[in-house]
Amino acid sequence: MNSKPYTRRDFLKAAGAAATAGMAARSGLDAFAAAESGVVFQGSGASHTRKVLILGIDGMDPNLLCEFVSQGLMPNFKRLIDTGDFKKLATSMPPQSPVAWATFITGLDPGGHGIFDFVHRDPATMAPYLSMSRAEPPRRALQFGSWVIPLKGGTVEQLRKGRAFWELLDARGIPATIYKIPANFPPGKTAARQLSGMGTPDILGTSGTFSYYTTRMPERPEKISGGKVYPVRVIHDRVEARLFGPRNQLRRLPKTAVSESGDSVYAETPYENPALAVDFSVSLDAENDVALFQVQGREFVLQEGEWSDWIEVEFKPAPWAPAISAACRFYLQQARPEFSLYVTPLQINPRSPAMPISQPAGWSRELVDALGHFYTQELPEEPKALRSGVLTGREFWQHAQFLLREQQRALDFLLQDFQRRGGLLFFYFSSLDQGCHMFWRYTDKIHPAYDGAEGLQDSIRTIYREMDETLGKAMTAVDDNTTFIIMSDHGFVPFYSQVNLNTWLMEKGHVTLLDPAKQELAKEYTNVDWSRTRAYALGLNGIYVNLSGREKNGIVKPEEYDALLDQLEKELLETRDPRNNEQPISLIVRPRRDFHGPYADAGPDLIVGYNWGYRTSWASPLGEFPKEIFLDNKDAWSADHCLDHRVVPGVLLTNQRITLEDPALHDLTVAVLAQFGLAPLPEMRGRNCLGPRTA
Which distant-in-sequence residues (6+ apart) come within 8 Å of 564 by Cβ?
534, 535, 545, 556
Instruction: Report the range of poorest mean pLDDT among 3-17, 172-186, 238-252.
Output: 3-17
Task: Report residue 270's pLDDT band, with 50, 70 and 90 as the boundaries.
Answer: low
Q: What is the pLDDT of residue 269?
A: 56
Q: What is the pLDDT of residue 150?
A: 74
Instruction: Report the range of poorest mean pLDDT among 231-240, 315-324, 369-378, 425-434.
Output: 315-324
Mean pLDDT of 146-151: 75
Strands 51-57 and 424-429: parallel
Q: What is the mean pLDDT of the chain?
A: 90
Mean pLDDT of 263-291: 82
Instruction: Report the range of poorest mean pLDDT among 216-225, 273-282, 514-523.
Output: 216-225
The dihedral formed by the CA atoms of 333, 339, 342 and 346, expressed in degrees to the nearest 10: 140
pLDDT digits (tens, 9 = 90+) for 211-243: 999 999 888 777 788 999 999 999 999 999 999
Tell whether the model's pLDDT for residue 49 goes beyond 70.
yes
Cis peptide bond prior to 94, omega within 30° of 0? yes
Which distant-in-sequence residues (6+ apart) come within 8 Å of 1 by Cβ?
157, 158, 159, 160, 161
Q: What is the pLDDT of residue 256?
A: 60
Instruction: Report the range of poorest mean pLDDT among 221-230, 299-308, 501-510, 664-673.
Output: 221-230
Instruction: Report the range of poorest mean pLDDT among 147-151, 325-329, 501-505.
Output: 147-151
* Distance in angstroms (rounded) separating the CA atoms of residues 589 and 63: 25
Instruction: Report the range of poorest mean pLDDT among 46-60, 317-331, 386-400, 477-491.
Output: 46-60
Q: What is the pLDDT of residue 404?
A: 97
* Distance in angstroms (rounded) separating the CA atoms of residues 327 and 377: 11
Strands 340-343 and 330-334: antiparallel
Give the distance, in angstroms, between the CA of residue 392 and the centroid of all CA atoms in the same chain.
22
CB 466 within 8 A of CB 404: yes
Report the amino acid identity of residue 75: P
* Distance in angstroms (rounded) separating the CA atoms of residues 594 and 612: 22
Instruction: Report the range of poorest mean pLDDT among 1-5, 121-125, 218-222, 481-485.
Output: 1-5
For residue 175, the surrounding DSSP H or E stretch is: none
* Distance in angstroms (rounded) separating the CA atoms of residues 381 and 459: 14
Task: Report residue 691's pLDDT band, with 50, 70 and 90 as the boundaries.
Answer: very high
Cis peptide bond prior to 231, omega within 30° of 0? no
Q: Delimit the domains of the chain by residue range.
A: 497-632
Residue among 461, 463, 544 nearest 501 (CA): 544
**H helices within 213-321, ranges in order?**
none
CB 535 within 8 A of CB 568: yes
* Distance in angstroms (rounded) separating the CA atoms of residues 539 and 620: 8
Tell whether the model's pLDDT for residue 43 goes beyond 90.
no
pLDDT digits (tens, 9 = 90+) for 584-632: 999 999 999 999 999 999 999 999 999 999 999 999 998 999 999 999 9
CB burial class (10 A; 0-12, 13-18, 19+) of residue 108? Answer: buried
Return the number of other C-beta atoms located less than 10 Å from residue 402's C-beta: 14
Q: What is the pLDDT of residue 695?
A: 57
Tell whether the model's pLDDT for residue 145 goes beyond 80.
no
CB 623 within 8 A of CB 503: no
Tell whether the model's pLDDT for residue 140 goes beyond 80.
no
Tell whether the model's pLDDT for residue 12 goes beyond 70.
no
pLDDT digits (tens, 9 = 90+) for 64-119: 999 999 999 999 999 999 999 999 999 999 999 999 999 999 999 999 999 999 99
Which distant-in-sequence residues (6+ apart) come within 8 Å of 84 by Cβ?
484, 653, 654, 655, 656, 694
For residue 176, the surrounding DSSP H or E stretch is: strand 176-179
pLDDT digits (tens, 9 = 90+) for 119-137: 999 999 999 999 999 887 7
* Distance in angstroms (rounded) separating the CA atoms of residues 677 and 527: 57
The dihedral formed by the CA atoms of 471, 477, 480 and 486, expressed in degrees to the nearest 10: -30
Query: In the chain, how many H helices and how many E strands?
Result: 15, 42
Which distant-in-sequence residues (6+ apart) come within 8 Å of 517 by Cβ?
none
Task: Report residue 142's pLDDT band, with 50, 70 and 90 as the boundaries.
Answer: confident
Strands 424-429 and 340-343: unpaired
Mean pLDDT of 672-687: 97
Residue among 369, 55, 342 nearest 213 (CA): 342
CB 302 within 8 A of CB 332: yes
Residue among 483, 475, 372, 477 nearest 421 (CA): 477
Mean pLDDT of 49-65: 96
Mean pLDDT of 11-20: 36
Task: Report residue 15's pLDDT band, with 50, 70 and 90 as the boundaries.
Answer: very low
* Distance in angstroms (rounded) separating the CA atoms of residues 112 and 161: 7
Task: Report residue 8's pLDDT band, with 50, 70 and 90 as the boundaries.
Answer: very low
* Distance in angstroms (rounded) separating the CA atoms of residues 572 and 592: 18
Return the number of other C-beta atoms located less than 10 Å from residue 163's C-beta: 20
Q: What is the pLDDT of residue 18?
A: 35
Tell whether the model's pLDDT for residue 265 goes beyond 70.
no
Reduce the DSSP state of residue 26 to 3 states and report it.
coil
pLDDT digits (tens, 9 = 90+) for 189-213: 999 999 999 999 999 999 999 999 9
HSE (side-chain half, CA atoms, 13 Å) at 47: 4
Reduce the DSSP state of residue 42 to 3 states and report it.
strand
CB 321 within 8 A of CB 8: no
* Distance in angstroms (rounded) separating the CA atoms of residues 339 and 304: 10
- How is the chain split among helix, strand and coil, in percent rounded to 5? 25, 30, 45
Task: Report residue 252's pLDDT band, with 50, 70 and 90 as the boundaries.
Answer: confident
β strands within 389-511, DSSP E:
424-429, 482-487, 493-494, 497-499
Instruction: Report the range of poorest mean pLDDT among 256-270, 480-494, 610-624.
Output: 256-270
CB 230 within 8 A of CB 282: no
For residue 5, the surrounding DSSP H or E stretch is: strand 2-5
- pTM: predicted TM-score of the whole model, two decimal places: 0.90
Please tell me the total number of residues recorded for the chain in this structure. Answer: 695
Strands 347-348 and 324-328: antiparallel
